[in-house]
Amino acid sequence: MSAFKEKYGPWAVIAGASEGLGAAFTRALAQRGLNVIPVARRSDLLEILSNEVRQEYGVQVKPLVLDLASSDVLEQISKETDDLEVGLMVYNVGLSLIGTFLHRTIEDHETILNTNCRTQLLFTHHYGLKMKERGKGGIIILSSLAGFQGTAMVAHYAATKAYNRVLAEGLWDELKPYGVDVLSACAGATATPNYLNSEPKKLNPMAPPVMSAQSVVEESLKALGKKPIHITGFWNRIASFFMHRLFSRKGAVSTFSKSTREMYEEDYG
């Protein structure tokens, strides 16, 4: 715990922190002694989370209510955090509007792009510069198994997750000589409120089990500093291995798309 705090403290920014994986990251980092800056749009959930973390872990908590798709998001977060020593940045944001690509408006797609990619780029560059100057720090970018191939019904979301993964992999090598660790954490189905609220139909019996948010977070934090990418969940790793070693690209796209259609197409087509 002390080594983790020395390497990645004293402050951590967690984008997309109101619930689910973001809230789990906030709690796990506070448990490790880091002061936390949870960032999200929903002030009610942020306030509840912040009060619970302060009481349970005794760390400083500075919640920031921000729309991560806004054009001035970098100016807003810079104003609130540039006087703090941020040693870890977690970008846990993955806006996914389920449905066929043309079923969604171009405004929907621009929001997905801004939230999942543009703001992640801005935050990574901003805090990466500061960590490079300090000679230590860490960046965790949440990707997804969907980012390994195109997938119907979530085509644009999958594309943004591929961007997240590939950028993190390149930065892992670029920033390693400066003492900055970068990790792309690739999660499969996770029992977050957003996932559960999408009301997916029963998964294929051969599909990997749905993971808890806490399990995804703990695996990700343990992998930080050890490798550029980590697929969370043993069965997710097994499924990914066989899918991308034994299937053709066409077969992987068709298989993932078939599964997603079976879960969602009736309601979101």
For the chain, give every domain's residue range.
2-268
What is residue 261's predicted lDDT score, i.e. its pLDDT? 86
- List, for residues 147-177, the tens digit of each pLDDT value: 999 999 999 999 999 999 999 999 999 999 9
Please determine, for residue 195, whether its predicted confidence score (pLDDT) is greater than 80.
no
Task: State which of 1-10, 119-128, 142-151, 207-216 shows the largest mean pLDDT.
Answer: 119-128
User: Taking the model in full, what pTM does it have?
Assistant: 0.89
Lowest model confidence (mean pLDDT) among 41-45, 69-73, 96-100, 152-156: 96-100
Average pLDDT over residues 64-85: 96
CATH class of 2-268: alpha beta
Question: What is the enclosing helix (H) or strand (E) of 165?
Answer: helix 155-175
User: What is the model's pLDDT at position 210?
Assistant: 86
pLDDT at residue 201 in the model: 57
- Measured distance CA(121)–CA(258) in Å, rounded: 31
Judged against a pLDDT cut of 70, whether residue 266 lies above it is answered with no
Q: Which of 32-36, 97-101, 203-207 has the lowest mean pLDDT?
A: 203-207
Instruction: Give catalytic status of residue 163 as yes or no.
Output: no
Residue of 8, 57, 127, 157 marked catalytic: 157
Phi/psi of residue 138, each to 5°?
-150, 150
The contacts of residue 239 (CB under 8 Å, 6+ apart) are 145, 188, 207, 208
- pLDDT at position 198 over 80: no
Q: What is the pLDDT of residue 191?
A: 66
- For the residues of 177-224, what is the DSSP string, one character each? GGTEEEEEEEE-SB--HHHHHT-PPPPPTTSPPPBPHHHHHHHHHHHT
pLDDT tens sequence across 87-134: 999 999 989 888 999 999 999 999 999 999 999 999 999 999 999 999
Q: Is the pLDDT of residue 181 over 70?
A: yes
